Amino acid sequence: MKVALGQFAVGKVWEDNARTCMDLMARANAAGADLLVLPEAVLACDMADPDLVRRAAQPLDGPFVTQLLDASRGSRMTSMMTVHVPTEDGRAWNTLIAIRDGELVARYRKLHLYDAFSMKESSRVEAGGEVPPLVEVAGLRVGLMTCYDVRFPELARRLALDGADLLVLPSAWVKGPHKEMHWEVMVTARALDNTVYVAACGECGPRNIGNSMVVDPLGVAIARAAENPALVFAEIDPARLTHARASLPVLKNRRFAAPELG
């Protein structure tokens, strides 16, 4: 599998962000990618107006996702990102979507909301209540996670035990003391904990760190971006998965049962 990470800074206007997403989709598809991962909350964002994500939320059959679905027609590449979807009570779900060839093939509502480091995502976003599905891409099984989820190893372990070969992690990782180190350590740890690949795409710009990266099942970063907009690629090698799980059989050696959602 060839995976692409499309890192960019999300703006206030959803039409502009849709054009950026479609441009990255076209470029990744032209380069032969099987999977494109884009950042978290790509519909609209304003660092001076945190409530914009709720006010700008659109249903999954709204114009933002509809444009991306139309742009994906005729391609077998799968694109993943998160968008905010309105709830019935005026809040929003932070929803990871997977689209392919004009179809919405999977969705996942973020389980762990970012109520940390003086931020409170739960003030405007409703938490999901289901373990995310696995999505088959180019013969491999892909597990879905979103940003703050990476701080909770139970979810990554559950997805690995469900059969994931690769975990995707759209993110908008906020800058702060040691935050780049936290990101790199945890993305790497989730790969090593579970002998899986992790493809983590971070939003860049004035508030967030960027630093998108793909880590292999033995903890080696095989592709990464810096702090600016970028499109980077990596090869996901099934033979590397087999080798990692033979030499480091943590999934077989574990003593604890599979995590369950509380």
Assign 119 a pLDDT band (cuts: 50, 70, 90): very high
- pLDDT for 43 equals 97
Active site residue 40: yes
pLDDT digits (tens, 9 = 90+) for 36-46: 999 999 999 99
Rounded to two decimals, the pTM is 0.97
Domains of the chain: 2-253 (3.60.110.10)
Which has the closest alpha carbon to 171: 4, 48, 49, 6? 6
Statement: residue 47 has pLDDT above 90: no
pLDDT digits (tens, 9 = 90+) for 164-222: 999 999 999 999 999 999 999 999 999 999 999 999 999 999 999 999 999 999 999 99
Residue among 21, 147, 201, 204 flagged as catalytic: 147
- pLDDT for 48 equals 87
Neighbours of 47 (CB within 10 A): 14
Active site residue 103: no
Pairing of strands 103-109, 125-126: unpaired
Active site residue 147: yes
Residue 247 one-letter amino acid: S
With 0-12 / 13-18 / 19 or more C-beta atoms within 10 angstroms meaning exposed / middle / buried, residue 60 is: middle
Residue among 21, 45, 110, 204 flagged as catalytic: 110
- pLDDT for 58 equals 98
Statement: residue 148 has pLDDT above 90: yes
Distance CA 35, CA 58 (A): 24
pLDDT digits (tens, 9 = 90+) for 83-112: 999 999 999 999 999 999 999 999 999 999
Q: Give the ranges where the chain is alpha helix by DSSP (H).
A: 14-30, 52-55, 63-72, 153-162, 179-194, 238-247, 250-253
